[in-house]
Amino acid sequence: MLRSLRFWVSFAVSAVLIALFLRATHPRELGAALSDADYRWLIPGTAVLFVAITARCIRWSVLMRPVAAMSPARLFPYAIIGYMANNLLPARAGELVRAYVLGERERVSTVGTFGTIAVERLFDGCTLVLMLLVAGALVGFEDGRLRAIAAASTLLFLAAVIGFYVLTLREERALRIIHRLLAWLPDRFEPRLEGVAENLVRSLRSVHQPGPLALVALFSVLAWTIEAGAYAVIGLGFDMDVSFAHYCLLLAAANLAIIIPTFFGGTGPFEWAARLVLVAASVDPAVASAYSVVAHGVILVPTTVLGLILLWSFGLSFRRISRVEVEEQGLMP
């Protein structure tokens, strides 16, 4: 992993934004804000977070129908393992790990599973952009950097949605385009990747049906709204006088900021973006910094600990999943 360019790019991005966050935060004031917080609110905040994760598992079960019929409860451990791997590995490698572990243990198509995860990420991004724009319209984009996040993420996910539907609207056309692209690769890769591409396109087409599309959209909005509720519950421990719309804006900006390659679950970009929103909402900078650190800890620590426990219960080591590569994952028909 240390020889990977992706590792060092992720580490550098996180390091720069952590440095910017710390530069804007006086250590003594941060310590005072942390000591004044009421940490009893972390327990209900964590409970609300897991309700949001449950809503995502319901959504995932809908997306998994073309691959295999699996209940949300059955998918829950794999979702948590994916969160854990995202928190500990660079560049959101947890998405690959989640597909690998589920495919290996449940004997289902790993490429089909990875296709459902790709659709999840697309809907997550679009939902976050929508939340960012709606919440920003309600409370205002006081900081120009928030407007930049809004503009960049809107363009990115608009392009992704258009590309997704153009590519998957007609399976024959999608496969024709993919085959043309694969023709540029060395001959030894083309036969293997053709099978991967065909399975991936078929799995992505599931959300073209009105029923699944409506359910996936509904649970995407529901899951992120519930998670914003978790942020609001944690905020009660810091006695911040901000509206729920501010928490929605904070959630959207912080999670869109970690789309870029990062390390340790988006540490750095998350705190930087969350602090921007709160300071723009006239929250004391030290309190905003303290809240950002604690809220991100609530997002990271419970899922990481539980994910490691579940991984151990499955008889898998973290070292094994950290070395998962595309060629090893069974991303084949």
- Among 81, 37, 7, 6, smallest CA distance to 289 is for 37
What pTM does this model have?
0.83
Q: Which residues contact 2 (CB under 8 A, 6 or more apart)?
A: none
pLDDT at 329: 41
Average pLDDT, the chain: 81
Percent of the chain beyond pLDDT 90? 40
Tokens of 144: 């120009």
The pLDDT of 135-143, averaged and rounded, is 83
Q: Tally the C-alpha atoms within 13 A of residue 32's C-alpha that lie toward its C-beta.
A: 8
pLDDT band at 4 (very low <50, low <70, confident <90, very high): low
Using alpha carbons only, how large is the chain's radius of gyration in Å?
A: 20
* Predicted confidence (pLDDT) at residue 103 exceeds the cutoff of 70: yes
Q: Which residues contact 149 (CB under 8 A, 6 or more apart)?
A: 132, 253, 256, 257, 273
pLDDT at 200: 61
Q: 128-145: string of b/e by CB count within 10 Å (b at 16+)?
A: bbbbbbebbeebebebee
- Among 176, 169, 155, smallest CA distance to 204 is for 169
More confident residue, 293 or 193: 293
Single-letter code of the amino acid located at 154:
T
Question: CA quadruple 195, 176, 67, 105: dihedral positive or negative?
Answer: positive
pLDDT band at 283 (very low <50, low <70, confident <90, very high): very high
pLDDT at 330: 42
Asked if 216 and 123 count as a contact pair (C-beta separation under 8 A), the reply is yes
pLDDT at 327: 42
The pLDDT of 300-318, averaged and rounded, is 92
Percent of the chain beyond pLDDT 70? 74
* Predicted confidence (pLDDT) at residue 70 exceeds the cutoff of 60: yes
Least confident of 14-28, 145-159, 259-273: 14-28
pLDDT band at 328 (very low <50, low <70, confident <90, very high): very low
Write the pLDDT tens digit of every residue in 8-36.
Answer: 555 565 566 566 566 667 678 888 999 99
The pLDDT of 195-216, averaged and rounded, is 71
pLDDT band at 93 (very low <50, low <70, confident <90, very high): confident
Tokens of 64: 């998994």
